[in-house]
């Protein structure tokens, strides 16, 4: 089974600073990779996904992520943090489990705080 | 949204009682999933279904059972609720392909 490691359970950045949230995965085959965002007391919202097309994936709200096979990484970045980016972010990988079925495996999440 | 609803949205129940959560979809998707979300653990897969009457266990299936008697409904049952099952439960559906997941709004369950 796949596994996902998110480095840093809490990350703080100043407003206007670069946001970098790290995600590494284990995989023996090219994976499908996702970033989700969750605002307080809300559900999951898809930020972006990698499905073996372009390695640099652009998502909503100015976020992007780069798939690096050699590093088994899929880090999430945003050039300039905004107060509204404060949320919890989850990296996930889609894993084939047989019988045509896939499972989505999540990292433990990174809570992003933005300091004014 | 994409046609997935969870009910109830909130529930408080007592230890030892059975509880059933419902996930309903209008997308006719084959694959359905139940996850639980706990602080510091992210989302963990409880059970999933790959067709009517076809289900399998996930990472944290102990104490849970599921049923899928028709395509649109996937039920999660806590046979005898415990305080450790206090959590937020999310249902997800997936269409064709490995990347088309859609999540419900979640059910917040408190076991007292």
pLDDT, one tens digit per residue, over A24-48 is 998 766 678 999 999 988 899 999 9
CB A47 within 8 A of CB A60: yes
Six-digit token string for B43: 């989302």
Six-digit token string for A30: 């090219």
For residues A38-62, average pLDDT = 90
Query: Over chain A, what is the mean pLDDT?
Result: 91
Q: Which residues of B are less than 8 Å from A32 in CB distance?
A: 98-99
What is the CB-side half-sphere exposure of residue A73 using CA atoms within 13 A?
12
What distance in Å separates residue A43's CA from the closest CA in chain B? 5
pLDDT at B75 over 80: yes
Contacting A residues, span 9-68, partner chain B, CB-CB under 8 Å = 9, 32, 34, 43-44, 46, 49, 51
Angle, CA of B100, B105 and B106, to the nearest 5°: 110
pLDDT at B48 over 60: yes
pLDDT at B1 over 60: no
Rg over CA atoms, chain A: 14
pLDDT at B28 over 70: yes
Chain B contact present for A107, CB below 8 A: yes
For residues B96-111, average pLDDT = 88
User: Pairing mode, if any, of strands A10-14 and B101-103?
Assistant: unpaired
Collapse the DSSP code of A70 into the 3-class scheme (helix H, G, I; strand E, B; otherwise coil) and give the result: helix
Q: What is the percentage of chain B residues whose pLDDT exceeds 90? A: 90
pLDDT at A65 over 90: yes
Q: List CB contacts of A53: < 8 A, sequence separation 6 or more.
A: none
- From the list A15, A10, A35, A36, the residue with the least C-alpha distance to A81 is A15
pLDDT-derived band at B52, boundaries 50, 70, 90? very high
Q: What is the pLDDT at residue A95? A: 79
Asked if B101 lies within 8 A of A109 by C-beta distance, the reply is: no
Q: What is the pLDDT at residue B35? A: 98
Q: What is the pLDDT at residue A53? A: 75
pLDDT at A1 over 80: no
Cα–Cα dist A35/B58, whole Å: 21
The residue written with tokens 């990347």 in the block is B99
CB A105 within 8 A of CB A27: no
Chain B contact present for A103, CB below 8 A: yes
Asked if A44 lies within 8 A of B56 by C-beta distance, the reply is: no
The residue written with tokens 């894993």 in the block is A95
């Amino acid at each position: 089974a796949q596994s996902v490691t998110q480095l840093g359970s809490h990350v703080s950045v100043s407003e206007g600073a670069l946001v970098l949230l790290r995600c590494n995965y284990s995989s023996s085959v090219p994976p499908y990779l996702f970033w989700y965002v969750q605002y307080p007391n809300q559900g999951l919202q898809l930020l972006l996904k990698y499905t073996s097309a372009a390695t640099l994936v652009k998502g909503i709200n100015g976020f992007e992520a780069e798939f690096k096979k050699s590093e088994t990484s899929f880090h999430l970045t945003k050039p300039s943090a905004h107060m509204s980016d404060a949320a919890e972010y989850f990296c996930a990988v889609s894993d084939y489990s047989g019988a045509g079925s896939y499972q989505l495996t999540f990292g433990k999440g990174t809570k992003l705080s933005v300091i004014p | 949204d994409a046609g997935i609803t969870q009910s109830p949205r909130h529930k408080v129940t007592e230890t030892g009682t059975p509880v059933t959560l419902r996930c309903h979809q209008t997308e006719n998707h084959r694959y359905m999933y139940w996850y639980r979300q706990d602080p510091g653990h992210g989302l963990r897969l409880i059970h999933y279904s790959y067709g009517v009457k076809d289900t399998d266990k996930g990472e944290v299936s102990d104490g849970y059972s599921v049923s899928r008697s028709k395509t649109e409904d996937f039920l999660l049952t806590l046979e005898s609720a415990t305080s450790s099952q206090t959590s937020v439960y999310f249902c997800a559906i997936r269409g064709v392909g490995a990347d088309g997941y859609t999540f419900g709004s979640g059910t917040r369950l408190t076991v007292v």
